[in-house]
Structure 1
Amino acid sequence: MELISVDSGNIEKEHICCAISDKKGDPCTSSKKNWMKSQFEHGLTFIKVNVRGKAFIEYIPAENAWCPIDADGYLYINCFWVSGQLKGHGYANDLLQACIDDAKRQGRKGLVILSSEKKMPFLSDAKYLKYKGFQVCDSAEPFFQLLYYPFENEALKPKFKDCCKSASIAEKGMVFYYTNQCPHTEKYVPLMAEVAKEKGQTVRLIKFESAKQAQNAPTPFTTYGFFDDGEFVTNEMFSGSKFKKYLEKKGL
């Protein structure tokens, strides 16, 4: 099995696994790759298995993570994904071990990753992570968990910032928060505004353009978060049809 590190030297020719396509000009691929390019200098690492499919791990020093956490000295895993058809080959173990080895080389305290009480879309599987030795170190409403893998027992536990603990915001109406950490947001988030407009409604789109902004977000999963009338609704990306159904249930 071969692991490939995607960096500034090969990102233009390497597929980033989770994108719909690598066609030139595709907003999904280009937005994600541009985000990655901007983060390499801040320690972003993207490692994939040399197979056709989704098997990769992406991480960054927690001080530079686009997530509202206090976890200085740790590596934060942005995304860790091995798709169904590739499971059972040991790819997840190899990718995680590569991350652990890198963290130790960097002199880090350990790893930290966002998960959930129950398996949720776009969030790493807590069951697998706990099996590998990760522990819950903090939680945030309504279901988010912060898991960590310390290299020493006395290492300070990472924690969520207060800004993301309550799953609520002061602003009323429909609000989408997002970043380009996922290749799909550049396509699907603006689509929500179009769907709302068709229904005579408006939504506010708030895009985090820097780690500092994301580190003060009202939700732990800054890649995508939808709030309605001040309450957190979901971190799962709406398709156009799903958002229409959501609006219909609201009587809109």
Structure 2
Amino acid sequence: MQIVNVTPQNAQEETFFCIKDIKRQGFEDKLKWFEKQYKEGLNLRILKDGNDKMIGFIEFIPAPKAWRPIDANNFMFIHCMYVYSKKDRSKGYGSMLINEAEKEAKKNKMAGLCVMTSKGSWLTNKTIFEKYGFAEVDKRGRFELLSKKWDQDALNPKLIDWTTQQKKYKGWHLLYADQCPWNEKSVFNLLNTAMDYDIDLKVTKINTAEEAKNGPSGFGVFSLLRDGKLLEDHYISATRFRNILKKELKK
């Protein structure tokens, strides 16, 4: 097994794991985002086997620069972690990836690690982190905030209340950031679908970590709202949006 450290210099060769087609607009947008965040301490590591096949990846960043609604001074925050094949999820590969974040955090004399988790296919379940010594320190809705700290004097990380931001969005709004490369495709599909229904969907791009931290959803980098109500907090398909529209327009 080998772990590759993705950098702006080798990103086109190694890809970002979750998006491998370097010709896609989502890859180009993620690359521009990655280049800026790399200077802020962002790390992306890809786990490969002996045949150079990608097994999984992890993306982590100092928590003050994280693109999630968290308050965690001097912690390393894990944005995303994924082991692709189910048959590989009981072989300790997740622990290998988490260990990369822990080594980097300790090298930078941080107090610990933290991560947001949730049930579902698009964000990691908390089970793997609990096995690695993480404990839940905060929860809001279906999102959990877990932490593993070695400096016991450090304050526990906490979630920022994203619901307080929702009421200011009147009408239909879509907010997104390039942290997730699949957002771009979703935004394109949702805009086209909104036009089919003669809906004025206002799209706002999230350009800073601070904007993401103070956004209206738990995921931080994707929010679909109508009149102060959060409808979705992660990228969705055109079909899913049509179903939402049919339901909302009946009201």
TM-score by structure 1 length? 0.90
Q: Number of residue pairs matched?
A: 246
Pair 1:213–1:236, CA change in 2 (3 A)? closer
Q: Deviations over 1:56-115 (max 9, x none)?
A: 000011111112221110001111111234323321111111111111111011111111
Residue deviations 1:219-250 (CA, integer Å, cap 9, x gap): 23122122222122222321112211221223
Q: Does 1:114 align with 2:113?
A: no
Is the 1:177–1:222 Cα contact (8 Å) retained in structure 2? Answer: no
In structure 2, the partner of 1:95 is: 97
Report the Cα distance in structure 2 between the residues aligned to 1:228 and 1:123, rounded to whole angstroms. Answer: 24
**One of 150, 157, 172 as aligned partner of 1:174:** 172
3-state SS, counterpart of residue 42 of structure 1? coil
Q: Distance in 1 between matches of 2:188 and 2:216?
A: 20
| CA shift for structure 1 position 172 | 2.6
Which position in structure 2 is the counterpart of 1:75?
76
CA contact (8 A) 2:94 2:128 kept: no
Q: Give yes or no for contact 1:176–1:224 (8 Å, CA) kept in 2.
A: yes
Q: Structure 1, residues 176-203: CA drift from partner, whole Å, max 9, x if none? A: 2211011111121132111011111121
Taking the aligned partners of 1:64 and 1:18, their CA distance within structure 2 comes to: 21
- Compare 8-17 and 56-65 and name the one that shifted more: 8-17
**1:147 partnered with 2:146:** yes
The CA RMSD over aligned residues, in Å, is: 1.9
SS at match of 1:4: strand
Residue 183 of structure 1 corresponds to: 181
Letter in 2 for 1:146: L
Say if 2:62 is the partner of 1:61: yes
Q: What residue is the counterpart of 1:239 in the other structure?
A: 237
- Partner residue in 2 for 1:5: 5
Q: Distance in 2 between matches of 1:54 and 1:205?
A: 35
Q: Give how far 1:22 is off.
A: 2.1
Q: Which residue of 1 aligns with 2:125?
A: 125
Alpha-carbon separation, structure 2, partners of 1:199 and 1:165: 27
**For residue 13 of structure 1, what is the amino acid of its counterpart?**
E
Amino acid aligned to 2:83: V
Secondary structure of 2:39's match?
A: helix
1:53 Cα deviation from its structure 2 partner: 4.3
Following the alignment from structure 1 to structure 2, what is the Cα–Cα distance between the partners of residues 207 and 159? Answer: 25
Does 58-67 or 86-95 show the bigger shift? Answer: 86-95
Q: 1:173-252 alignment to 2 at 5 Å?
A: 173-251=171-249
- With over 3 angstroms needed to count, the CA separation of the structure-2 counterparts of 1:113 and 1:242, relative to structure 1, is same
The residue identity in structure 2 corresponding to 1:248 is K
Task: Say if 1:120 and 1:167 are closer, same or farther in 2 by CA, change over 3 A.
Answer: farther
- Cα distance change, pair 202–121 in 1 and its aligned pair in 2 (3 A): farther
- Report the 3-state secondary structure (helix = DSSP H, G, I; strand = E; otherwise coil) of the residue aligned with 1:169: helix
CA–CA distance in structure 2, aligned partners of residues 241 and 218 of structure 1: 23
- The answer on whether the counterparts of 2:165 and 2:215 sit within 8 Å (CA) in structure 1 is no
Post-superposition CA distance 1:4-32 (Å, at most 9, x none): 0001221122121101x4243x2011111
- Among 45, 48, 51, the alignment partner of 1:50 is 48
